Amino acid sequence: MDAEVKAGSREKFIEDIGKGGYPEDRCWIKVSENKDCALGYLAKKHEGQSQMNQSKFMKAVFKTVGLISAIAAREEITNKTLKVDLTSFLPYSERNNFPDYFEALKEFVKNPIETEFGSINIEFINLVRRVEGQGIYHSLSPSEKNNKKVAIMMMGYRNVSLVIGERGTIQKGATTDLGMVKLANEIGESEGITNEGILTKFLVEAKTNEDRALSRLLAKETGYKKAERKERLKKKIAELREDFASQLITWMKDELDQDVDKIVLTGGSAMYFGKQIENQIKKNFPWMEIGWNNGLDPEKDLGVIRNLGQTDQYKRYIDVYGEYLYNQAVIAEKKNN
């Protein structure tokens, strides 16, 4: 599901949903008396609606419950009560929010929840806390976890986060605001373009077909100096990419210990910068082994994550998928013993 959460009325949501579509794209839940919220794609469609006036972890509660309702609908689960083992990931800097988040989650599901898919009861059997990157770390081989100091760097839309593990546990972590959104906003400011979503799509497309991306971005502009603007944007993108890489390496030098043996890169922004970031890491940390996603690809396992091959979202699930595989291995080991 997309990350958006928007307040509104179910009547308006239902009117806009129409018929058909994936459950995760038409998800809303009741959050209090006379208040509903849309989640994911449906929330995206309601950009004019007010944001939820709630704390970040309460929004996470709404998203969690909404996602569970969508999974139940997609899988046609008809149990009166859904019994759920939940593993949640928070950024390392927000790990102290787990108690509040879990307490709020349990309180929210004490009564049946009204959703787009009917009223549901949720009972949490186990609530497991993980920091972002821990799933990928868990998916490392036992030899790597026991004998190497490994950093997991997740490059997301809004920030870049880093966790460092040694002897099987996460030892430290850090976060910076060097996400792709910063690149998009700087280009927007230089050209007077304010739509963040359009700018981000432009950057992604420009990586593989710059001329087509520039034509699309400037399609509604008049012909006045359009060719000149295209050349200026090409130069600006190249400069900003170099500047981004330089800032990222400076931050990494501050946060990475010299005895880190390996770094695993993951996330949409990592895929976007690709070799540019990899080459900078090789240049500045020549002793460090570099891996991508730890070889995980949930898109290939259609029994676990279905239909994500039609979208780019599967990249977001690599951390969760790593944790899933780790749990499966633990369960198998217990059975064998």
Q: What confidence tens digit (pLDDT) does each residue in 167-225 have?
A: 999 999 999 888 778 888 887 787 777 666 777 777 777 777 777 877 777 776 666 67
pLDDT for res 119: 92
pLDDT for res 171: 93
pLDDT for res 281: 95
**Comparing C-alpha atoms, which of 16, 13, 23 is closest to residue 307?**
23
Q: How many CA atoms lie within 13 A of 26 on its CB side?
A: 17
The tens digit of pLDDT for each residue in 224-251 reads 677 777 788 888 888 888 888 899 999 9
Q: Where are the alpha helices (DSSP H) in 18-121?
A: 41-44, 56-74, 98-108
Residue 31 has pLDDT above 70, yes or no: yes
- Residue range 128-156: mean pLDDT, rounded: 93
Predicted confidence band of residue 336 (pLDDT cuts 50, 70, 90): confident
pLDDT for res 259: 94
Residue 48 has pLDDT above 50, yes or no: no
- Return d(Cα 60, Cα 217) in angstroms, integer: 33
pLDDT for res 227: 77
Residue 308 has pLDDT above 60, yes or no: no
Residue 303 has pLDDT above 60, yes or no: no
- Residue range 30-43: mean pLDDT, rounded: 87
Give Cα separations from 126 to 14, 45, 72, 170 (angstroms): 33, 34, 18, 21
pLDDT for res 289: 96
Residue 290 has pLDDT above 50, yes or no: yes
Task: Tell me the average pLDDT of the chain.
Answer: 84
Q: Are 265 and 237 in contact (CB under 8 A)?
A: no
- Residue range 309-319: mean pLDDT, rounded: 61
Q: How many CA atoms lie within 13 A of 209 on its CB side?
A: 7
pLDDT for res 310: 42
pLDDT for res 309: 44
pLDDT for res 335: 86
Range from 18-32, 109-123, 193-207, 315-329 carrying the lowest mean pLDDT: 193-207
Handedness of CA 121, 125, 130, 134 (dihedral sign): negative
Tokens of 325: 């595989």
Using a 10 angstrom Cβ sphere, with 0-12 exposed, 13-18 middle and 19 or more buried, the burial of residue 125 is exposed
Tokens of 295: 């070889």
